[in-house]
A = this chain, B = another copy of it.
Amino acid sequence: MSIAATVLDRIQRVTQLPKVSLHEPTFGGNELKYVTECIETGWVSSVGEYVNRFERELAAYTGAAHAVVVSNGTSGLQVMLELVGVRRDDEVLVPALSFVATANAVRHCGAWPHFVDSDIRSLGMDVSKLDAYLREVGEIRVDGCYNRRTGRRIAAVVPMHTFGHPVDMPALMSLAERHRLEVVEDAAESLGSWIGDRHTGTFGRCAMLSFNGNKIVTTGGGGAIITNDAVLAKRAKHLTTTAKQPHAWAFFHDEVAYNFRMPNLNAAMGCAQLERIGSFLEAKRLLALRYAEAFRDVPEVSLFLERTGTKVNYWLQTLLLAPEVASQRDEILAVTNAAGQMTRPVWELLYTLPMYGACERMTTPVADDLARRIINVPSSPQLIAGVV
């Protein structure tokens, strides 16, 4: 059997369905009930009890002191970068291997992404390589770390927890302290992922979650900022809600701000989804075990599993092809998709996209390699019958 045929066969053994998408939401809980309540009471818009409740419950679940819901993860990341002091023409360290939104949010602040290589153990930033790189490229001045080559300030670093697998945050935090960088976590994919007993997104100054339709918990579209910093949380709320000062009737807005609100209708759905995250996580963990088992006798393909000390949400199940079959990736993708088992490569590396081709970066051999070898396979929790 060709490797493509083998991969298809193993995926089919796990999914046991003729046609499967990569990730689909499931709404078997209180979603309809809460949304109906919004419609019946008329509270569908930007102010409402579900907005407050979703924020409270996100904070409680992640252990962050504060959560501020927003219209989506990209906008949340943009606002956080502004709030931690990223300015026009600063640079921000982001993984070369990420969804394009991580870099776009940097550009939306007028700053420039600066790309970092990956760690094959986490799929996220390689912290020790970054440390060595910054010793060489960076120079500490009174207002932070500067890139010697470009003369620009390197204001922040944005670790991203790929498919739920956490970056080594304790190491990254001490790196950030050494090099005077603000840390803003892109936790879009890692709701339900932990390092020890700390939730991803609670290590840096603040973090963004995404509730896009393909995420572990969805609000249709939406996101949240989580943080332990009360001042930052308050500023984030203000800046994402047109900076209006409270008044019985007057419209006094005190700074240039955004309409990045999450409507109550969407927050209602989020509350219902969050109630069910335990069963989603359980199903995804079981699914990971089934894929791992199904590929046990295929030496060229392995399931990427959580590393010791972390607890991963297994948001997207991730196959890693052995280097010798990497050249067959596109055939595998073609065969599996043609057969109704939806699979996907990882993102194009960000520095290969036309708008980011001229940005600063270190050498990225690991990201380059991973980009050729990752395949995501069907990951919906409802593939595990009976759990969700």
Residues in chain A within 8 A of chain B (CB atoms): 24-27, 31-32, 35-36, 38-40, 42, 44-47, 71-75, 99-101, 103-104, 107-108, 110, 212-214, 218-221, 242-244, 248-259, 261-266, 269, 333, 337, 343-345, 347-348, 353-355
Return chain B residues, CB-CB under 8 Å to A27.
39-40, 42, 44
Q: Are B101 and A355 in contact (CB under 8 A)?
A: no
Return chain B residues, CB-CB under 8 Å to A40.
27, 32
The CA-CA distance from A161 to B249 in the complex, in Å, is 21
The CA-CA distance from A42 to B258 in the complex, in Å, is 30
Q: Are B251 and A100 in contact (CB under 8 A)?
A: yes
Return chain B residues, CB-CB under 8 Å to A251.
99-100, 345, 347-348
Kindly identify which residue among B44, B74, B99, B110 contacts A220, using a CB–CB cutoff of 8 Å: B44
Q: Are B45 and A212 in contact (CB under 8 A)?
A: yes
Q: Are A263 and B213 in contact (CB under 8 A)?
A: yes
Q: Are B252 and A353 in contact (CB under 8 A)?
A: yes
Q: Determine how close the nearest CB of chain B comes to the CB of A329; give it in whole angstroms.
A: 10
Return chain B residues, CB-CB under 8 Å to A249.
333, 337, 343-345
Q: Are A74 and B213 in contact (CB under 8 A)?
A: no
Return chain B residues, CB-CB under 8 Å to A263.
213, 219-221, 266
Q: Determine how close the nearest CB of chain B comes to the CB of A11; give it in whole angstroms.
A: 14
Return chain B residues, CB-CB under 8 Å to A104.
242, 256-258
Q: Given A99-B251, A347-B251, are A36 and B32 also a contact pair (CB < 8 Å)?
A: yes
The CA-CA distance from A259 to B345 in the complex, in Å, is 21
SS of A interface (majority) = loop
The CA-CA distance from A218 to B72 in the complex, in Å, is 19
Most chain B beta carbons < 10 A, residue from A44, A107, A258, A263:
A263
The CA-CA distance from A242 to B254 in the complex, in Å, is 30
The CA-CA distance from A219 to B221 in the complex, in Å, is 13
Return chain B residues, CB-CB under 8 Å to A101.
242, 259
Return chain B residues, CB-CB under 8 Å to A42.
24-27
Select from chain B the residue with minimum beta-carbon distance to A255.
B355
Return chain B residues, CB-CB under 8 Å to A254.
353-355
Return chain B residues, CB-CB under 8 Å to A252.
348, 353
Return chain B residues, CB-CB under 8 Å to A258.
74, 104, 108
Most chain B beta carbons < 10 A, residue from A72, A259, A345:
A259
Return chain B residues, CB-CB under 8 Å to A337.
248-249
Q: Are B353 and A46 in contact (CB under 8 A)?
A: no
Q: Are B71 and A72 in contact (CB under 8 A)?
A: yes
Select from chain B the residue with minimum beta-carbon distance to A272.
B39
Return chain B residues, CB-CB under 8 Å to A218.
44-45
